[in-house]
Amino acid sequence: MTTLHTLPIPRQITPAHEHAWVADSRHPTSEGVVVYVRCAGCGTHRVDLQEHPLTPPAAISRETSG
Ligand SMILES: [Zn+2]
Q: How far is the CA of 9 from the centre of ligand 1 (A)?
A: 22
pLDDT in tens, 33-42: 999 999 999 9
Alpha-carbon span 10 to 26, nearest angstrom? 39
Amino acid identity of residue 27, one-letter, is: H
**Residue 57 has what pLDDT?**
87
Q: How far is the CA of 63 from the centre of ligand 1 (A)?
A: 9
Q: What are the structural domain ranges in the chain?
A: 21-59
pLDDT in tens, 47-66: 999 998 898 889 999 998 86
Q: Of 24, 63, 37, 33, which Cα lies nearest the Cα of 51? A: 33
pLDDT at residue 11 is higher than 70? no
Q: How far is the CA of 8 from the centre of ligand 1 (A)?
A: 26
**Residue 7 has what pLDDT?**
74
- What distance separates the 2 farthest-apart alpha carbons in the chain? 70
Alpha-carbon span 13 to 16, nearest angstrom? 9
Contact present, 63 and 46 (Cβ < 8 Å): yes
Q: How far is the CA of 52 from the centre of ligand 1 (A)?
A: 25
pLDDT at residue 14 is higher than 80? no
